[in-house]
Structure 1
Amino acid sequence: MPSPVPAEIDRLWERREALGPADADARDTVLAAVDLLDSGAARVARVDPADDAVRVDERARRAILLSFRVLGMTASEVGPFRHHDRLPLKTRFDGVRVVPGAIARWGSHLAPGVVLMPSFTNIGGYVDSGTMVDTWATVGSCAQIGRNVHLAGGAGIGGVLEPAGAVPVVVEDEAFVGSRAMVVEGARVRRGAKLGAGVILTGSTRVYDAATGAELPRGEAPAWSVCVGATRAKSFPGGEFGMPCLLVIKRLAEGEVHDKLALEALFREHGLAF
């Protein structure tokens, strides 16, 4: 997958320690590269349809990191609020609903049809059409959110800028991430998966099928599944303790639009809020 970000970014990266806000040519190159992310012409990561692997555009990520070197601290204000930062806020919101209190940084992409409740979307984040980022939810740096996703109130999608090679969190189309759930460290929520409130999913979280007891790939909520947080017993020298895991409690038919009332009842059956 060739990067749309110009190769000059790689050359600037090699001398990044020497760069600063006074380097006008470098600044223009970096700003143009980050603007490709802002418009959606480039993105930090995407799922390769050829092998279903997440491919990271390291050049795009380097452009973001370089922006912190070539941009100086600038004072700004929004109403009575005062800010002092290197990165400006996003100004491109074509077809996007932005509720007062929502914050999106320049360099994040919001596709038409996105709804931002009072929330935070960081640089490099990509949010596709039809998705709602609900109240106090966070889309971390470089996180990739698909179409028609619902990030419920307080959901935290972790970010990653460094180290090199680290894979961002990916939440695929039609997924639901419940209130106060946390998806971090390159974890992946596959298409149509529904995560209950308070779920913690990291890149190394162990995942089990409640119907069979089988262990599934770590750090992934399976496609078209309903998942809740659980614990598994593990012995230590000091005793036996419960370690967090993800439990798949139901499988949905592929493409099934699950009735929200039925989904809420299913989560409540397992002691969770919707």
Structure 2
Amino acid sequence: MSTSSFVSPLDSGIDELWARRADITPADADARKAVVAAVDAIDAGEARVAFVAADGSVVVDERAKHAILLSFKVLPMGESNAGDFRYNDRMPLKTRFDGVRVVPGAIVRWGAHIAPGAVLMPSYTNIGGFVDSGSMVDTWATVGSCAQVGKNVHLSGGVGLGGVLEPPNAVPVIVEDDAFVGSRSMIIDGARVHRGAKLGAGSILTASTHVFDANTGEEYPRGEIPERAVAVGASRVKSFPGGDFAMPCMLVLRTLAEGQIHDKLALNDILREHGVAT
């Protein structure tokens, strides 16, 4: 599917509601019904905020984002609970977890899709988030609003994927299939981790982060870790009027062969060779 041919699976009535969003309140029953149906579809995985098209581009479904933003207009505040824990919010907690392992302490808001076969350790997934099959969201990891996580991804302990709801056409964080993100790493501001890439612990990746090849000095597109790359956080010296300072960047140590995508032992060896933890 090309970007230009994409048509949102959500009802086009969301567009009309978005155009008059300033006048919508929880008292508008018809608007609430339409928005709830749209967010239910996102929750079920029948629609999603963003995905990677066949041509490699990221397609953002603005109608899906509009539906999520409208939900904050049409839903009244309400109390809910999970065991002894009490909440007061416009957004209820997710209730559909078919085939998903959800460990006590994991929190998922309605409007996030968790595919069968995923594992949620005590963690947080916000509305619009998408976690595909075989992926693990490890302890204290956060999948921010609209962040997209592919198949067989491991988000290690304390990883933070930033959220994005506004502006509606902004690209969310994308972590593609078979990726590994090391502990306490932060991926924000629409940054992208391509298929099979591995990030060492403590990596910081934003849309403006410079990414360099350690062996050639080549610079990759900013804010993107290339496919099957093993990358770590680093710094480079940049001169300013006040002196020379180390500025953060990401460094690609090696690109794995196709057959090494799932070999975590090979990943550990590469990172440890350079004194980096996983």
Question: How does the TM-score come out when normalised to structure 1?
Answer: 0.98
The partner residue of 2:244 within 226, 240, 243 is 240
CA contact (8 A) 1:173 1:192 kept: yes
Q: What is the distance in 2 between the residues matched to 1:218 and 1:255?
A: 26
Letter in 1 for 2:38: A
Identify the residue that residue 163 of structure 1 maps to in structure 2. Answer: 167
Do the aligned residues in 2 keep the contact of 1:108 with 1:125 (CA within 8 Å)? yes
- Between the aligned partners of 1:191 and 1:205, the Cα distance in structure 2 is 18
**Offset, 1:77:** 1.7
Partner of 1:47: 52
Q: Which residue of 1 aligns with 2:33?
A: 28
The letter for the 2-side match of 1:14 is: A
Contact 2:260 / 2:266 at 8 angstroms: preserved in 1? no
Do the aligned partners of 1:224 and 1:255 also contact (CA within 8 Å) in 2? no
Task: Give the match for residue 16 of structure 2.
Answer: 11
One-letter amino acid of the structure 2 residue matched with residue 166 of structure 1: A
CA offsets 1:155-205 (integer angstroms, 9 cap, x no match)? 001110001321011100000011000111111100000000000000110
Q: What residue identity is the alignment partner of 1:175?
A: A
Q: 4+ residue stretches of structure 1 with deviation over 3 A?
A: none
Q: Where do 5+ consecutive residues of structure 2 fail to align?
A: 1-5
1:147 to 141, 144, 151: 151
Deviation at 1:237, TM superposition (A): 1.3
CA deviation string 1:120-167 (max 9, x = no partner): 001001111000000000011111100000000000011100013210
Q: CA deviation at 1:258?
A: 4.5
Name the amino acid aligned to 1:98. V
Say whether the 8 Å CA contact 2:143–2:162 is kept in structure 1.
Answer: yes
Q: Where does residue 204 of structure 1 map in the other structure?
A: 208
Match of 2:42 among 21, 29, 37: 37
**Residues 38 and 109 of structure 1 are in contact (CA less than 8 Å); yes or no, is this contact kept in structure 2?**
yes
1:229 and 1:15 map into 2 onto residues whose CA distance is 45
Instruction: Report the secondary structure of 2:260's partner residue.
Output: coil
Task: Using the TM superposition, give the Cα deviation of residue 267 of structure 1 relative to its aligned residue in structure 2, in angstroms.
Answer: 1.8
Structure 1 residue runs without a partner (length 5+): none
- Residue 110 of structure 2 corresponds to residue 106 of structure 1: yes
- Quick one: which amino acid aligns to residue 39 of structure 2? V
Q: Percent identity?
A: 68
Tell whether the 8 Å contact from 2:228 to 2:261 is kept in structure 1 after alignment. no
Q: What is the CA RMSD across the aligned residues, in angstroms?
A: 1.0
User: What is the CA distance between 1:254 and its match in structure 2?
Assistant: 2.0
Work out the CA distance in 2 between the residues paired with 1:132 and 1:80: 26
1:188 equivalent in structure 2: 192
Separation in 2 of the partners of 1:230 and 1:80?
44
* Aligned: 1:252 with 2:219: no
Aligned length: 273
Shift of 1:213: 0.8
Aligned with 1:265 (options 259, 266, 269): 269
C-alpha distance in structure 2 between counterparts of 1:170 and 1:250, whole Å: 21
5 Å matches for 1:214-225? 214-225=218-229
- More displaced 10-residue stretch of structure 1: 160-169 or 59-68: 160-169
Separation in structure 1 between the aligned mates of residue 159 and residue 193 of structure 2, nearest angstrom: 13
- Look up the match of 2:63: 59
Q: Deviations over 1:100-122 (max 9, x none)?
A: 00001100001100000000001
Q: Find the aligned partners of 1:31 and 1:116 in 2 and give their Cα distance.
A: 25
TM-score normalised per structure 2: 0.96
CA distance in 2 between counterparts of 1:79 and 1:97 reads: 18
* Counterpart check, 1:82 vs 2:86: yes
